[in-house]
A and B are shown apart, each in its own frame.
Chain A
Amino acid sequence: MPFIGYKTLIEEGDIVLAFIGRDAIKPIRINSEETLNTRYGVFPHKSMIGKRYGSQITSMKGYGFIHLLQPTPELWTLSLPHRTQIVYTPDSSYITQRLGITNGSRVIEAGTGSASFSHSLARTVHPHGQLFTYEFHESRFLEAKKEFEEHDIDVVINHRDVCKNGFEITNYDGGYLNADSIFLDLPAPWEAIPHLPKVINKNEKVGICCFSPCIEQVDKTVKALIEHGWTSIEMVEIQGRRWEARQSMKRDVDDAILRLKDVKRRKLEGIERKRKFYADNGDNNSKETENDSNDVREKRKLDEKEQTKVEKTEFNPFGRGMRVLEGDPKYNWLKVSKNEAELKSHTSYLTFAFKEAVANL
């Protein structure tokens, strides 16, 4: 299984994520007849077979490099074909943890969408749990179904409008889904909530998370949850951030002052040298030299340039006028961090609630 479990060597038929760059991760199925064409060159699949996952490989011409990675749900989230908006890892990981989803959990998810979260859920509940997922959009349903088959992921997927027709699956294990966790990522979760009692496990505490971008949806969802006996209702928002490590040159004010002094010293020295030169040799710009021959004037000009020149300074504490790479060991650096340029400031609101088991008193 490529997405669940672990593999060491790349074999014919494997799904491999070709890591071309952070924003270019390409899923390929290894077929020794085929080649992968990237902007960094051409890579025959043959050259990948037998390599360890994680290997860097060289293009045919030997100039380009890519890495060959084993697919994981989290890498898939970064590389999958978008059919809809998707749930990203900061949200999905929190939902999973807060609902207590682990190996063995029985999870209902609607709608499947691009199956980003489905992959992650299927991995986490494997092998003793089960994921049930629902999608009413036919082509999305078909694509997701095909994807699960290709990725060898055990998911029960249904083509269904859950708001209209609920979650029951008659041909599944006597129809008992006995779900312990529910995730609703659809526009009107409040229409799906009334259908849940038939498919959740009545003998244990069940958790739900509804994922909605607008606060008006949350409001309706909360009302529906209250009405249907869900308790401990709480909405949260996840703010996921990425930081970038950088180095900022430690530019000491003492050095800045020393440099100013140095500039000043050299300027004065230049003036002094000129003064001395004019005193000894005359000045081309003065009345006295007006009648000198052109040769004499020309020579004086060259001599002036030569004799009044001030040495270029050695003192350049901040590398002015030079190309300095961040972290150059010749300078002092402060290790700092910076938010990524564009923040995902809002994805969706996460409304959590729980339903008590019916005690067998």
Chain B
Amino acid sequence: MSEIKQDQDQFIVKPTLIQYGHHVLIKLPSSGLKVAHVTEGGSINLGKFGTFDLSGIVGFPFGQTFEVLDERKVRAVKSTTYGNVDTLEPEDIPTADANADAAASDVVMDETSKENTPEPKTLGEKIDYLKRLDVKSSETNRDLLDIGAGSQALTMEEIETLKKTSKGANIGEAIIDKLIKSHANFNKKTIHSQEKYLKRKQQKFLRRFTVEYLGSSQLLQYYLEKEASKVLDMSEETLGLLLSLGNIQSGGRYLVIDETSGVLIAALLERMRGSGEIVLLHENEHPNISALDHSNFPIEIRQKMIDSLNLLQFFEPESERVEFQEYSTEELKELKSNKRTHYHRRKQNAIDTNKAIDNAIKGDFDALIVATTLYTPTLMKRLIESVGGSRPIIIYSQFKEPLIETQLDFMNDLRILTPALHESKARPYQTIPGRLHPMMTMRGGGGYLLSALRVYPVEEGVTAVGRGLKKKQKFEK
């Protein structure tokens, strides 16, 4: 395909505001994830955080944080996270300097500085105040007592009473108020552990959530958290690498096997945004792409861009073409209405299947993208021919071994150039100024990729390319 068809009105813009009809990701402070379909009159239950009407989030930009109020209402608030560890009010975010000081020297605030602090009024100020209380900051936490039940100045009973007496969003604040008055050990904590502590308190008592655009990364994250096997344990970094090595772009024509419930297809559609084609192969009657139901690509676009075929239809197209006897207008009139519906459905299916078969047998795909549990060495033997020259073949597997076998095959296949087996891992850090260090734990797994390019060998039997080259080279000298 030398020219990309650029149909301006096919471009699917990434939405920036939450609207009815969107699927969105809801992030809870405890870092739990939910997917919601924003419908008119719809509501969502956030468990202990309560239920709220989705109408309350419509019109706000993606990334907005909300607080659940009473009567199923929400209120937009400023984001409470500045890092991957701490959750604080924006007003409480330590300025770069204050934080640097805290990190560099064990600041011990004295009585005077305490006196200078005005009476805290807003929630932010209160938390701030908490932090400034006679801080004996010590890196070693020498003086720190256990934060467990013993040192917690509020009993569960007291908290329950508070919950009853103060309504809705005020609970969190009321509890923090109480804490300021009574927390015995607070001043013994390091600034850092105080922040962590406050974060925990806040997460527990402030009913906040953030609404995010449900892109492919968010969809993947959602599945990884809920049921990683449904996305074959693929990590975000591996998905990203797959899309780059696959040279995925708007206007491409891709041959795909997707056993990640459709997350992979969602990622391709997201890069393409309305332009290009996907031939999706599957081994059942219908492909399992249930994740696409959560994606924000309209059904018409999906139908326009995706042709699905099962493996039998793809590999034996001639016998799998659907023969369809068309009825004349008169004959159609004779049919009962339910028969007629059935007839139309069968006709559409025949048209779709035959069109998909016609498309698939043209071959010359711009990439072959495979995430499957089928045995890839034999699968590849059958699929390589369908890939265009100089175009990438990318295979994802949760396990390295099938890819090793496939790579060994590729090394002896003259239609394949530069097979390479990749692994990519993102190592997250605790990201607090002065306290940067790798997180103590990280997600394992994430899978592997085998990449290669499809090439056309010169006809008259060149043997093993690399070695052949060297031998011939000696000859030439």
Contacts and interface: CB of A to CB of B under 8 A. Distances in A.
Nearest to B27: A232
Contact of A236 (B404, B414, B419, B426): B426
A127 B4 contact: yes
A30 to B, nearest CB: 14
A204 B61 CA distance: 6
A341 interface: no
Contacts of A54: 388-391, 453-456
Contacts of B90: 229
Contacts, number: 296
B408 interface: yes
Given A64-B472, A98-B217, A236-B428, A241 B271 contact: no
A7 B76 contact: no
Interface string B282-319: 00000000000000000000000000000000000000
Interface in A7-33: 7-9, 19, 22
A54 B424 CA distance: 27
A41 B14 CA distance: 50
A58 B420 CA distance: 25
A219 B81 contact: no
A204 B428 contact: no
Interface stretch (B135-143, B180-188, B457-465): B457-465
Nearest to A207: B63
Interface string A332-361: 000111000000000001010010111111
B456 A56 contact: yes
B408 A245 contact: yes
B407 A120 contact: no
A255 interface: no
Interface in B422-460: 422-429, 431-434, 436, 438, 448, 453-458
Interface stretch (B239-247, B327-335, B348-356): B239-247
B31 to A, nearest CB: 12
A208 interface: no
A357 B63 contact: yes
A245 B59 CA distance: 53
A327 B99 CA distance: 60
Contact of B249 (A68, A103, A358): A103
A286 B427 CA distance: 78
Contact of B436 (A64, A235, A357): A235
B400 interface: yes
Given A6-B1, A40-B469, A124-B249, A224 B458 contact: no
A196 to B, nearest CB: 16
Contact of A70 (B390, B425, B468): B390
A8 B95 CA distance: 56
Contacts of A4: 249
B61 A205 contact: yes
Contacts of A223: 96, 99-100, 433
Given A227-B96, A351-B431, A6 B252 contact: yes
B213 interface: yes
Given A54-B388, A65-B472, A126-B250, A98 B236 contact: yes
A79 interface: no
Interface string B241-261: 101110101111100000000
Given A233-B431, A241-B424, A205 B468 contact: no
A239 interface: yes
A337 B400 contact: yes
A104 interface: yes
Given A89-B244, A94-B236, A127-B4, A103 B250 contact: yes
B245 A89 contact: yes
A280 B442 CA distance: 79
B84 interface: yes
B16 interface: yes
Given A5-B4, A54-B391, A61 B476 contact: yes
A243 interface: yes
B144 interface: no
B93 A104 contact: no
A287 to B, nearest CB: 61
A124 B63 CA distance: 23
B11 A65 contact: no
A136 to B, nearest CB: 25
Contacts of A104: 11, 13-14, 273
Q: What 9 A-B pairs have minimum CB-CB distances, sorted nearest first?
A: A54-B389, A97-B240, A205-B63, A223-B96, A357-B61, A93-B244, A204-B16, A54-B390, A245-B407
23 contacts: A39-B473, A54-B388, A54-B389, A56-B456, A65-B469, A67-B455, A68-B390, A90-B422, A93-B237, A95-B240, A97-B240, A98-B217, A102-B14, A103-B272, A128-B273, A205-B63, A219-B434, A222-B83, A233-B83, A239-B424, A241-B424, A247-B408, A358-B61
Given A93-B241, A98-B240, 18 more contacts: A5-B2, A19-B418, A22-B418, A57-B458, A58-B458, A64-B473, A65-B462, A68-B390, A72-B247, A93-B243, A223-B100, A227-B95, A234-B429, A238-B426, A240-B422, A335-B405, A351-B431, A354-B63
Interface of B: 1-4, 6, 11, 13-14, 16-17, 59-65, 76, 78-79, 81-84, 90, 93-96, 99-100, 213, 215-217, 236-237, 239-241, 243-245, 247, 249-253, 270-273, 275, 364, 366, 388-392, 400-401, 403-405, 407-408, 411, 414, 417-429, 431-434, 436, 438, 448, 453-458, 462, 465, 468-469, 472-473, 475-476
